[in-house]
Amino acid sequence: MKKTVNLLLALSFLATILVPLTGIMVHKMASAVFLLLCVVHMVIYRKKCGPKKWGLLLMVILTFLSGVFGMVYEQIPAILLLHKLLSMACIVCLAIHLFVFQRGLWGRRKTV
């Protein structure tokens, strides 16, 4: 189950960040699925969650909410600017998170 959730999380993240290729409608749906899978991921790994991981989930939620408010209040460009900045910071933090926990994704590697 964990590997399935991780794979679906990676695929939805990929669909979310490929906005120029997929379009805004796919981005909206993929970001909603990504948020849902992030919450499921946190429930599965809740025993290993420290403050940094809860902060990462909070950053994902804030990015999602800023995107929703950016759609509602599209006449205010500061909200969309905030969404873009949070999105970039979220991508960097998620890349660091993936790099740190890479061994758990691909199994234990044997060192020579």
Q: Cα–Cα distance between 80 and 73 in angstroms, integer?
A: 9
Going residue by residue through the chain, which has 112 residues, state the pLDDT in tens, using 9 for 90 and above. Answer: 888 888 898 899 999 999 889 888 999 999 999 999 999 998 888 888 788 888 988 999 999 999 999 889 888 899 989 999 999 999 999 888 888 877 655 555 555 4
DSSP helix, strand, coil percent of the chain (3-state; round to 5)? 85, 0, 15
**pTM score, whole prediction:** 0.80
Domain boundaries, the chain: 2-103
Q: Cα–Cα distance between 68 and 93 in angstroms, integer?
A: 21
**Mean pLDDT rounded to a whole number for the chain:** 86
Q: What is the pLDDT of residues 1-14, one digit of tens each?
A: 888 888 898 899 99
Contact 2, 76 (CB under 8 A): no
C-alpha torsion 37→34→14→68, nearest 10: -170
